[in-house]
Amino acid sequence: MSEKKLRDAIDTLKESGVRITPQRHAVLEYLLNAMIHPTADEIYKALEGKFPNMSVATVYNNLRVLREIGLVRELTYGDSSSRFDCNTSEEHYHIICEECGKIVDFHYPSLEEVESLAEQVAGFDISHHRLELYGICKECKDTAAQKH
Ligand SMILES: [Zn+2]
Ligand SMILES: [Zn+2]
């Protein structure tokens, strides 16, 4: 992870007047390091050793604060629990593993021509679109191969 990203995020927190608690700092650092777009539960499990007094509610609360100032994006897919993405600066799409639920970033130019075509065809003012790709990730493929 680039230290710069963490420093920039901390600066944004400071500018927003948000108090930087050790937990908040740890949640942010974990999110910036984890490329899997973790759930609140996964963040909690990863940090509970370091902060024995921290609850899942604290993690949610920190994520809400980070989301409100635009440092984190909440991703909801169907009825599974929300995942959190701290890559809010670059437009990107997501590939979702149907086996383990991990989400990986996929960089592809934003499909703006689809939006403008939809505006022409349907007469809508399009605000945004969602594109998700689904499949089996490399780790899950390897695990499956080992079983055979
Ligand atoms: Zn997987
Ligand atoms: Zn992402």
Q: Say how many Å lie between the CA of residue 40 and the centre of ligand 1.
A: 18
> pLDDT at position 102, please?
87
Binned at pLDDT 50, 70 and 90, residue 139 comes out as very high
- Ligand approaching nearest to the C-alpha of 103: 2
Q: CB–CB of 6/37 below 8 Å? A: no
Which residues are found with C-beta within 5 Å of the ion, ligand 2?
A: 85, 87, 105
Task: State both tokens at 71.
Answer: 């440092």
How many whole angstroms separate alpha carbon 120 and alpha carbon 124? 8
Ligand approaching nearest to the C-alpha of 31: 2
pLDDT tens readout for residues 97-130: 999 888 999 988 888 999 999 999 999 999 989 8
47 membership: H or E segment, kind and range: helix 40-47
Q: How far is the CA of 143 from the centre of ligand 1 (A)?
A: 9
pLDDT at 146 over 80: yes
Q: Taking the C-alpha atoms of 115, 118, 119 and 122 in order, what is their torsion angle to the nearest 10 degrees?
A: -160
How far apart, in whole angstroms, are the C-alpha atoms of residue 51 and residue 26?
Answer: 9
Tell me how far the alpha carbon of residue 31 lies from the centroid of ligand 1, in angstroms: 19
Per-residue confidence band for 1, with pLDDT thresholds at 50, 70 and 90: low
Q: Which has the closest alpha carbon to 27: 76, 101, 86, 91?
A: 86
Question: Can you give the pLDDT at residue 42?
Answer: 93
Show the tokens assigned to 130: 């969602």
pLDDT at 121: 97
Q: What are the pLDDT digits (tens) for 39-96? A: 999 999 999 999 998 999 999 999 999 999 999 999 987 667 899 998 877 788 999 9
Distance 122 CA to ligand 1 centre (A): 37
CA of 18 to the centre of ligand 1 (A): 35
**What is the spatial distance between Cα 118 and Cα 129, in angstroms, rounded to a whole number?**
11
